């Protein structure tokens, strides 16, 4: 017999919600910093230099040539997005704050590129958007990241309960010599 459904959505467990939020934050940081890094490596301006009767020389300049610190900040944002996975607690929240600052600085570089004359508008605009997306990921990490699971926590050993002391505990816990002696007697040293 089928049980009636109430129509209410099932509540998401806190660990699953934390993993999902962690994934969103990391993806925001990586996507924003990656977009900014890609856009800053594109050609932002082309300078033509007249050479008399010869054809003019053409010098293409990327955003990284015009604003080298933006590409460095984008790399910091990419590394910080990966570091969000490896940190926990207060360190992760502090990292979120640093990612906000890096993202806002990238966005400022994009805004500066938009204000320059002779620069194409599409690439600085993408740097601006990428910086804002990375800053949003950092803000999300700073606000909510303290309670998210850390990398490898599922592999950490749980706290041990109080085990029996003395001769009642398994021979393996008493020492290697006791374990070998138990084997010599034909006993299983892992069982009390």
The confidence score (pLDDT) of residue 165 equals: 53
Say if CB 170 and CB 190 are below 8 A apart: yes
The confidence score (pLDDT) of residue 184 equals: 86
CA distance 135 to 58: 36
pLDDT 10s digits, 92-121? 999 999 999 999 999 999 999 999 888 889
Say if CB 109 and CB 127 are below 8 A apart: yes
Written as one string, the DSSP assignment of the chain is: -PPPP--PPPPPPHHHHHHHHHHHHHHHHHHHHHHHHHHHTSEEEEEEEEETTEEEEEEEEEHHHH-HHHHHHHHHHHHHHHHHHH--HHHHHHHHHHHHHHHHHHHHHHHHHHHSTTS-SHHHHHHHHHHHHHHHHHHHHHHHGGGSPPTTGGGSPPPPPPPPPGGGS-HHHH-HHHHHHHHHTT--TT--
Domain locations in the chain as residue ranges: 14-46+59-148, 164-192
The confidence score (pLDDT) of residue 95 equals: 95
CA distance 48 to 128: 27
The confidence score (pLDDT) of residue 4 equals: 52
CB atoms < 10 A from the CB of 5, how many? 6
- List beta partners, residue 49: 57
pLDDT 10s digits, 76-99? 999 999 999 989 889 999 999 999
The confidence score (pLDDT) of residue 103 equals: 97
Report residues of the chain scoring pLDDT below 70. Answer: 1-14, 152-174, 192
Q: What is the pTM of this model?
A: 0.69
The confidence score (pLDDT) of residue 186 equals: 86
CB atoms < 10 A from the CB of 186, how many? 6
CA distance 87 to 92: 5
The confidence score (pLDDT) of residue 173 equals: 55
């Amino acid at each position: 017999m089928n049980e009636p459904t109430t129509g209410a959505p099932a509540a998401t467990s806190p660990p699953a919600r934390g993993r999902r939020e962690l994934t969103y934050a990391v993806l925001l940081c990586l996507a924003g910093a990656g977009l900014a890094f890609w856009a800053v490596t594109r050609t932002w301006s082309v300078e033509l230099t007249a050479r008399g009767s010869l054809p003019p020389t053409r010098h293409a300049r990327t955003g990284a040539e015009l604003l080298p610190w933006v590409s460095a900040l984008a790399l910091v944002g990419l590394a910080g997005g990966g570091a969000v996975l490896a940190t926990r607690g207060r360190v992760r929240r502090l990292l979120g704050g640093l990612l906000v600052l890096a993202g806002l600085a990238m966005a400022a570089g994009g805004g500066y590129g938009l204000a320059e004359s002779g620069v194409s508008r599409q690439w600085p605009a993408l740097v601006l958007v990428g910086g804002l997306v990375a800053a949003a990921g950092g803000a999300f990490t700073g606000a909510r990241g303290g309670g998210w699971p850390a990398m490898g926590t599922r592999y950490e050993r749980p706290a041990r309960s109080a085990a029996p002391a003395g001769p009642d505990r398994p021979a393996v816990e008493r020492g290697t010599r006791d374990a070998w002696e138990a084997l010599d007697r034909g006993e299983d040293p892992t069982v009390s």
